[in-house]
Amino acid sequence: MTDKITVGGVAVDTRHWIGGERVASPDTFTDISPIDGSTIGEISRATPAEAAAAIAAAKAAFPAWAATSRAERARLLHAIADGVEKRLEELAIVETTDNGALLRSHRRGVMPRVAHNFRFFADWLLKLDHEDFETRGHGNHVSWDPAGPSVLITPWNAPLLLATWKVAPALAAGNTVVLKPAEWSPLTASLLADIAAEAGLPAGVLNLVQGYGSEIGDALTSHPDVRRISFTGSVPTARRIAASAAANLTPLSLELGGKSPLLVFADADLDLAVDLAVEQYDNAGQVCLAATRFLVEESVAEEFTRRFVEKAGQLTQGDPRDEATDVGPNIHPRQLEKIDGFVQRAVAAGARALVGGHRKDGQYYAPTLLTDVAQDSEIVQEEVFGPVLTLQTFATEDEAVRLANDTRFGLAATVATGDPERARRVTARLVAGTVWVNCFFVRDLRAPFGGSRLSGVGREGGSWSFDFYCDLKNTVTAPNGWSNHG
């Protein structure tokens, strides 16, 4: 195995990053590009020994990093952001090759947001505060103490964006990190380790192990020295992580699946509603927040459907490196099989494909819209995580809300309406961590993010991230004690 591979002209190290050094494993796994199924390279495949070494490195580095001033931690996070911006084009090329998302999106939105993740939490750290208060003359002072080594397990659909959504606040909080990226898209995490080292982040503060969760997951999540675990991924994997962490009562943050609705009322701007609906094919449908269930008021359903079919037919599917492409490939042959299985079972049960409903060449699945689906059917109830949407109708506002809430999930919801009062009524009744009204995917790091029901546990973003990654402490001082806690 070679230590480095070249991806789109960019050198990427295939080894782990542990304690400030590159570490190879005796075995590897093959990383393939969803664009054409070609082999990108052989990547070091961690064993429990490498997982333990990464945790040991994070533990050794923790006391000094926790004692580092807020100002210095913030400075280093900004330096990492500078490094991301300096290598933005390289990161975009590598990630598109690795996970198949649109290159134009990586250039214009995703990688700039990666840098913003570091800058935001660096700046938030410097203003993190709680007003002191008195209790019968006693002073109360709230502080956020670094919790310890944190294991961060990230998904393949937005690899670097979602990794840094966790890495940045964990580091800002004073924790050390062991990052385990998804094996289907590991490459930009390796580049992040290089960028962090070049920025001057001390050895052991950020560690990277690559491999299969089935082989090293338990070694990472059951370790007694790990004090926080943050995971984005599937519900079954989250259950295994929670069981593994239970013995040590390690706090968890879990952002899981979704089966989010788009509610279109008759008073909505239909052009806007259709634009929002077609946007759900973004990233080939591999977006946890996607509104995959269209719920449309009966009186406008026919017109909405006509406009949607017309607009969806204008999408260009193909090589994500082409500026003209709107929909790229799905991540892996196994995922493509899963997507097609959902569609074929739905059609066999009576669903009709108004758009798509079939595979294309390679790892591409045609953007699909299914109708004539029952509320209790698999295609309505289970997350597909591909470019597959369903359409149902409703007669009343109460029915719309009932259908929207009638799944095991509660990650997000989107509402299209021209009536502000209806918007307030409906959003108050929806079970969701995020609700968008007449818009979609507007995300602010100051806002809490997470899901209800099986869509997750906990919230991150703004102070909520620090609440999770820190141990909150309240110091109570007697009236004749010190008044300034520093």
Place of tokens 């580092």: 68
**Residue 143 token pair:** 């502080």
DSSP string, 352-368: EEEE--SB-STT-B--E
**How far is 96 from 338, CA to CA, in rounded Å?**
22
For this structure, is 337 an active site residue? no
Instruction: Decide: 174 and 65 in contact? Cβ < 8 Å.
Output: yes
CA 486/CA 236 separation, integer angstroms? 45
- Strand-pairing partners, residue 326, are none
Distance in angstroms (rounded) separating the CA atoms of residues 224 and 203? 21
Q: Which residues of 134-143 are buried (b: 16+ CB within 10 A; e: fewer)?
A: eeeeebebee
- Dist. CA 415–CA 214, nearest whole Å: 39
List Cβ neighbours of 368 (8 Å cut-off, separation of 6 or more): 343, 353, 355, 356, 357, 358, 387, 388, 389
Decide if 173 contacts 147 (C-beta within 8 A): yes
Burial of 426 (0-12, 13-18, 19+ CB in 10 A): buried
Distance CA 173, CA 166 (A): 11
Indicate which residue of 95, 288, 383, 460 is catalytic. Answer: 288
Please choose, from the candidates 286, 358, 289, the residue with its C-alpha nearest in 3D space to the C-alpha of residue 320.
286
The reply to whether 255 belongs to the active site is yes
Phi, psi angle pair for 310, to nearest 5°: -65, -45
> Around 410, how many Cα atoms within 13 Å sit in the side-chain half-sphere?
18
Catalytic residue among 255, 297, 383, 460: 255
First to last CA, the chain: 52
Kindly report the number of other CB atoms within 10 A of residue 37's CB atom: 12
Distances (CA, A) of 246 to 218, 226, 240, 243, 457: 11, 12, 10, 5, 14
Catalytic residue positions?
255, 288
